[in-house]
Structure 1
Amino acid sequence: MTAGLAVRCLALDALAVATSDLLRRHGVDCLLLKGAGLARRLGVDRVYGDVDLLVAPETVPAVRDALHAAGYRPTLPPEPYDVAASWHEQPFTAPGALPLTVDLHRGFAGVGDPDALWRSLRGPAEPLDLAGGRVLVPDEAGTALLAALHAACPGDSGKPVHDLDRALAVLPPSAWAVAGRLAIRCDAVPAFTVGMRLRPAGAAVAGRLGLSAAAEPASMWLAARRATPTTVGLAGAVELPGPWLRRLRLLARLALPAPAYLRQADPAARGGRWRLLRAYPRRTWRHVRWLPRGVRELRTARRRHG
């Protein structure tokens, strides 16, 4: 880690403590999901770029009010993070000279029951001394669960899979057994299975837990292997139960998403109506360019899943 990155990580650690203290003064608990807590749990020198804090879903309105009053500003419109919507995180820019970000989580990718996730992680959470203060972090089983879930939905980063490799190497079998039960409790078995089966060591653990490849949805399987969003969206549409009209609506949202979604997915769409309007044809062209690769990826998924 370079000196500049080390200084930035120290600043993020201080921000994690300050934000946790701020929320605690407002009567809200939070957990540091990644960052220094994950690095210490895995025993690695890990670079991180923001502060990921998980809160109970019902506390989100109070948390946003507390952050706003303290000078934190959301970097996106509020629509994607409506309490009834499916978004599980919202970034806030922290006050201060450095451009540091706090990602406020009310759930995690692949989790169907965010309330159960909060209860499962908060109960056994452990304190961590950090930057002259203290934060709460998930225990070993919670870390194992999150490592698998993050590997199943890595975005465009290879870091989650490396974290999973390290977690499989250092966390005890008992932690993975509990993590499997937590995945059932918070409706995250498909994502947990996909993440675990990315690696031979994880597949062996999944086998001992009774998690087979049959629990892997094709769309998640593709996302874990960093397929294009076009491919993942098409696979997700095929998997939707019910009439084809629901699938057509999903495909329409993939091609022409709501403005709030587009601003979330494409930073170039933020900053005014003109930038938003230009983002739509750019998104369409991107899907067109991805089609040949998407066809290959879908064929691979078809051979894998039938």
Structure 2
Amino acid sequence: MTRVETIVSTAINLALDVATAEVTAAFRAAEIRTILLKGAALRDWPSPSPTRRSVDVDLLVPPDRFNDAESVLKRLGFESRALDGLPYDRPVPAHAWSRGDHGAKVDLHRNIIGVGASPEVTWTILAAHTAVLDLGTTKVDALAPAARAMHVALHAAQHGNKQAPTLRDLQRAVDALPLELWADAAAIAAQLDASHAFAAGLRLVPSGAAIASALRLSFAQTTDVALMAATSPNMARGFAWLDNLAGPRAKGYFIARKLIPPRDWLRAWSPLARRGRLGLAATYVWRPVWLLVHAGPGFVAWRRARRAARA
């Protein structure tokens, strides 16, 4: 990375740290506890990485305070970019919020991708595995080392084998952390019903695969985890979800609402839809075309992953 890129990364990180401090302070004033999942929590852990660039603020909050937390973000000037609310659709573990299209972005989590446990169980377990992080003059709760290592592996699994930044985070962690800590991370993953994603994430780098072997982690994968770890095309996980829906009514309604979603969903999906009535109309025309273009590769990837999971 060049000096200019380093300066840009530092500036972006500082801006996000300011946003993190602002948002966590507002949540604290509303008596909402938060846990910082990434960002500053990974920049200097487990080894310094001054060129690591964050793109948003990821915060886990208690599920029973999730709506309250969203109200706080609204008061701070953030707008929702949440892609959920469609009948029979996959539950979304986090809602995206941003100040305009180019301002600070917050991912508000009630759960984590790769975790099979309920949001309530996830919060109870992870809230017991936190450490205080100094963020300038502000103190925030972040995941403690074992839970943080677990999340690094889950995040790598989520983005798969072609996402360089998450693989770099994983590589730094497996190079620096002892096997005993990875054993603790595996135990937390098991409590969260996240063992498949944890093992798949570790195995995305050779030294991580060695740790997975030393811990005797299973090679078994669900179709969904296999799709994530392989960085599968758009819509592949959608076909997996559709396959698991029970009955023709649920499947038909799911397909129909994906083709013609509500306006608010479409505005969250596409910046074009947020440009007045003409932009919204154009996005409604574009949506079926986009689905058609991505359906073929997604279907093929899903069939391949399903066969592998059943093998």
Partner of 1:228: 233
- Residue type of the partner of 1:229? N
Partner of 1:145: 150
Deviation at residue 245 of structure 1 after TM alignment: 5.1
Q: How many residues align?
A: 299
Does the 8 A contact of 2:130 with 2:144 survive in 1? yes
Deviation at residue 283 of structure 1 after TM alignment: 3.1
Deviation at residue 38 of structure 1 after TM alignment: 0.9
Choose between structure 1 and 2 for higher RCO, CA contacts under 8 A separated by at least 6 residues.
2
Separation in 2, partners of 1:230, 1:23: 35
Partner of 2:290: 286
- Of 253, 268, 273, the match for 1:269: 273
Partner of 1:115: 120
Partner of 1:171: 177
Distance 1:121 1:299, change over 3 A: closer
Indicate yes or no: 2:41 matched with 1:16.
no
**TM-score, length-normalised on structure 1?**
0.83
- Residue type of the partner of 1:161? L
Partner of 2:65: 59
Deviation at residue 230 of structure 1 after TM alignment: 2.5
Distance 1:281 1:199, change over 3 A: farther
Indicate yes or no: 2:136 matched with 1:131.
yes
- Of 223, 228, 239, the match for 1:218: 223
- Aligned Cα RMSD in Å? 3.1
Does the 8 A contact of 1:168 with 1:202 survive in 2? yes
Separation in 2, partners of 1:201, 1:257: 43
Q: Which moved more, 1:113-122 or 1:154-163?
A: 154-163
**TM-score, length-normalised on structure 2?**
0.82
Distance 1:80 1:6, change over 3 A: farther
Unaligned runs of 5+ in 1: none
Separation in 2, partners of 1:244, 1:194: 32
Does the 8 A contact of 1:94 with 1:102 survive in 2? no
Does the 8 A contact of 2:82 with 2:95 survive in 1? no
Distance 1:107 1:223, change over 3 A: same
Separation in 2, partners of 1:134, 1:182: 24
Deviation at residue 21 of structure 1 after TM alignment: 1.9
SS at match of 1:2: helix
Indicate yes or no: 2:37 matched with 1:37.
no
Question: Deviation per CA, 1:88-140, whole angstroms, max 9, x where unpaired?
Answer: 22233359xx8222222222112232222222222231111122222111111
SS at match of 1:213: coil
Does the 8 A contact of 1:79 with 1:260 survive in 2? no
Does the 8 A contact of 1:233 with 1:254 survive in 2? no
- Residue type of the partner of 2:66? V
Distance 1:236 1:205, change over 3 A: farther
Partner of 2:188: 182
SS at match of 2:129: coil
Partner of 1:194: 200
Indicate yes or no: 2:73 matched with 1:48.
no
SS at match of 1:42: coil
Separation in 1, partners of 2:249, 2:206: 39
Partner of 1:76: 81
